[in-house]
Amino acid sequence: MLLVLYASLYPFEGWRGVGLSPFAYFNAPWPRYVTAFDVVVNVAGYVPYGALAVAALRPRVRGFPAFLLAAASAALLSLLLEAAQTYLPARFASNLDLICNLAGAALGAALGLACAPFIADGPLQRQRSRAFLHGAEIDFGLMLIALWLFMQLNPAALLFGAGDLRDYLAPWEGRARRPEFFVLIEAFTTGTNLLAVGLLLSLLVAPGWPVRQIFGWLVIAALAVKTAAFAILMRAENMAAFLTYGAQIGLAIGIGGTLAGVALPRAARLAIAAVLLMAATVLVNLTPPNPYLADTLKVWQQGHFLNFNGLTRLVSALWPFAALGYLMFLATRRLK
């Protein structure tokens, strides 16, 4: 719900009254300009909400009542957020968006009902129970891994880079640097972050399971997400633009370091992952903006993804701090 709220109201600037009821859009004429892309985005944005709402209601509410509750809560959420958009000059409240959001939530709720037996009581849950340690604290770690994959959708970030707070605090213009300087920075950022994520993943995997193989699949998934982001948000010929020379070096360092590091004792993995996260975050915030990356992103047509990009940037900025707190939490517990 918080992610939907952020994406709907971003950039949270320029609030002003327009002399109309916030619900005037409800009876307004159909929007004059409607594209298939806008419709698809508004439907797809609420599909996860509907599915997760159904999952959250289990096991107390199941079946059609769960579907109705998920759809009704999505309708109320969309109704209020569209009303709030009335006061944002960069946003446009639309009854069509409300209908699309409700359709997406209904579709997600239907998918949630269909998949619930497979996820909650079926082979997926059994596989999770076998491959990873038990407990809600481990589920939180798996959620952090999923958010790490999600933030790879931001094409403006370095490969696996996170924790950049400069846009939220004060932009800093550093002096001009040679390309080799940014190659070194990108290699270090990519390698340290990937190694930290790999060590974090190893802390969640149950003993006896091939943690290196699971890490390999995670790297493949992250590269696939990054490639898809560049292919969709930019142009198809730029789908591998993120795989620069520095990123390739960092990728090799991160993979090699993780394959060796997972054999270390638990305490060592916790400490190394925490130190690497802190070092990479500090470096990202001290490094001047990369003009070569900015030149590459000139072909990026943000369009409707402007608010979505703000969401991925926020997750990317906060993720290392959440992961560091989680590592500190794991250090105080003996998990089984």
Highest mean pLDDT of the ranges 30-39, 208-217, 295-304, 306-315: 208-217
Integer Rg of the chain from CA: 22
- State residue 14's pLDDT score: 82
Q: Which residues partner with 205 through β-bridges? A: 132
Range in 90-99, 105-114, 145-154, 200-209 the model is least confident about: 90-99
**Residue 265 CB contacts under 8 Å (≥ 6 apart), including other chains:** none
42: confidence class by pLDDT, cuts 50, 70, 90:
confident
**Segment 75-88 mean pLDDT:** 90
Task: Pick 4 or 334 by higher pLDDT.
Answer: 4
User: Considering the chain, what is the average pLDDT of its residues?
Assistant: 82
- State residue 129's pLDDT score: 83
- pLDDT > 70 fraction of the chain, expressed in percent and rounded: 84
**Segment 112-140 mean pLDDT:** 82
Q: How far apart are CA 10 and CA 230, in angstroms?
A: 22
**Segment 164-173 mean pLDDT:** 64
- State residue 303's pLDDT score: 47
Please check whether residue 314 is in contact with residue 167, taking contact to mean a CB–CB distance below 8 angstroms.
no
Which amino acid, 117?
P
pLDDT at 301 over 50: no
* Global model pTM greater than 0.85: no
- Taking each helix axis from N to C end, the angle separating 136-150 and 211-233, rounded to the nearest 10 degrees, works out to 40
- State residue 142's pLDDT score: 93
102: confidence class by pLDDT, cuts 50, 70, 90:
very high
Q: How far apart are CA 177 and CA 182, in angstroms?
A: 8
At residue 326's C-alpha, the angle toward residues 321 and 328, to 5°, is: 95
- pLDDT > 90 fraction of the chain, expressed in percent and rounded: 36
- State residue 58's pLDDT score: 82
309: confidence class by pLDDT, cuts 50, 70, 90:
low
Tokens 């990519």 locate to 190
Q: How far apart are CA 310 and CA 294, in angstroms?
A: 17
Q: How far apart are CA 150 and CA 167, in angstroms?
A: 20
pLDDT at 325 over 90: yes
**Segment 5-34 mean pLDDT:** 79
What is the CB neighbour count within 10 angstroms for residue 2?
6
**Segment 120-141 mean pLDDT:** 83
Q: Hey, where are the domains in the chain?
A: 2-121, 128-331
**Segment 86-99 mean pLDDT:** 84
